[in-house]
Amino acid sequence: MSYLQLDAVAKHYGSRTVLRDVSIDLKAGEFVSLLGPSGCGKTTLLRIVAGFDQPDSGRVVLEGRDISGLAPAKRQMGMVFQAYSLFPNMTAQENVQFGLRVRRQDAAAQQKRAREVLELVGLAEHAQKYPHQLSGGQQQRVALARALAISPALLLLDEPLSALDAKVRVQLRDEIRRIQQETGVTTLFVTHDQEEALSISDRVVVMHDGVLAQVGEPAAIYGEPANIFVARFVGAVAELPGVVADGSGGMVTVLGRQVAASRARGMAAGTRVYFLLRPETVRLGPPDAAGMLHGTVIARTFFGALTSLKVEITGGTDCVTAAMASGDAANIAIGSTVSVNWDPDSPRLLVA
């Protein structure tokens, strides 16, 4: 049985449809990310789960109980907001104790639990500081501790890392995952950052225009995008126009050349497809007749260990990006002609 079930949830603001019959099931202890661009409905969905917004139709079911009409205060959910949600008039410890205080727990139990969760997030020594005395990352960790202090049935994270700088974001991201695994709390995490979603989730829900574009494990979302939106939104991809040339032999005509793509097997000849290549699957080599495609290196972007080279395919304006070790990439000059190759199992084909 699902731990949390969102059943055909729909929401409109005036004439604008924000969510269209969204259904998701979460298992107990699962970490699920809602991933999508701004305006796709992911935050609205989270707010419906939290009870801050009401769905126009559909149900929110937690542990078999329909909580759609339940007030947020009665849902026993912990939520971490984007930023600035700590109560500024309370110390870190008082913030963490707040949920227990309004539950009229005795003071000693409140303090004990607050210490536990502050230690869990590594901020026990900052317990007596006010929010303005803490860094952005520390504030979000206190917010996380505050949400966990009430032992929530569900942890809701609304882009909690978006206001932090890159280094702190990665640290806190890993810490959130560690804490989630330690506590086993079922978590729904909203983000527009694909790297965040892919790196810490058990499953990722990609949303687009108020509908689910794909639900799956991070590797599946990245490697087997269900549609062109997911392929474009998650990770970098080169998108070439192709036509299946031989369905039995796994051959596709791309930019005038017949190239191998094992996923073409079983497809009808003549089917128009998006021929998708991830940068890490592309190999560049010296120009030779055996090359699948040929092109000219037109740009180079250095990322430290890796460098990406952008190659304009000969005879057109389409480009392919290859990600390779920076040491190898250094030997390929901008303007040089290269062959573009890949493993036949690598390209993903989506019917155009």
Partner 1 sequence: MSLRPVKSAGPLARSGGLFTLVFMAPFLLYVTAFLILPTLMLLATAFLGKHGPTLHYVASLGQGQTVVAFRNSIELSALAALVGLVVGGLAAYFVLRPGMPRGLRSLVTTFGAVAANFAGVPLAFAFIATLGSLGMITVWFKDIGVNLYGMGFTLYSMPGLVLVYAYFQVPLMIIVITPALEALRREWREAAENLGASTWDYWRHVGLPILLPSLLSAYILLFGNAFSAYATPYALTSGIVALVPVEISNVLSGNVMVSQQTGAALALGMIVVMVVVMGIYALIARRVGRWVKR
77 binds partner 1 (CB under 8 A): yes
H-only helix segments in the chain? 42-50, 92-101, 107-120, 136-149, 166-183, 194-200, 218-223, 228-233, 326-329
Considering only 11, 113, 141, 146, the residue that binds partner 1 (CB under 8 A) is 146
Considering only 102, 107, 219, 325, the residue that binds partner 1 (CB under 8 A) is 102
C-beta of 138 vs 321, nearer to partner 1 = 138
Closest separation between CB of residue 52 and partner 1, Å?
6
Binding residues for partner 1, rule CB under 8 A, total 33
C-beta of 99 vs 225, nearer to partner 1 = 99
Considering only 10, 90, 168, 226, the residue that binds partner 1 (CB under 8 A) is 90
Largest CA distance in the chain: 79
72 binds partner 1 (CB under 8 A): yes
| The 306-313 sheet, strands edge to edge | 282-285, 337-342, 293-302, 306-313, 319-325
| Percent helix, percent strand, percent coil in the chain, to nearest 5 | 30, 35, 35
Closest separation between CB of residue 156 and partner 1, Å?
8
d(C-alpha 27, C-alpha 25), whole Å: 7
Considering only 88, 266, 327, 335, the residue that binds partner 1 (CB under 8 A) is 88
81 binds partner 1 (CB under 8 A): yes
Question: Whats the size of the chain, residue-wise?
Answer: 352
Instruction: Give the per-residue SS3 of 185-210.
Output: CCEEEEECCHHHHHHHCCEEEEEECC
71 binds partner 1 (CB under 8 A): yes
C-beta of 99 vs 347, nearer to partner 1 = 99
Q: Would you say 46 and 190 are in contact if contact means Cβ atoms under 8 Å apart?
A: yes
Q: Return the structure tokens found at 180.
A: 């989630």
Considering only 9, 40, 50, 121, the residue that binds partner 1 (CB under 8 A) is 50
147-186: contacts with partner 1 (CB under 8 A): 147, 150, 156
Backbone angles phi, psi at 225, to 5 degrees: -60, 135
10 binds partner 1 (CB under 8 A): no
C-beta of 42 vs 310, nearer to partner 1 = 42
- Torsion from C-alpha of 144, 148, 150, 151, nearest 10 degrees: 160
**Interacting residue ranges for partner 1, rule: CB under 8 A:** 50, 52, 71-79, 81-82, 84-91, 98-99, 101-103, 130, 132, 143, 146-147, 150, 156
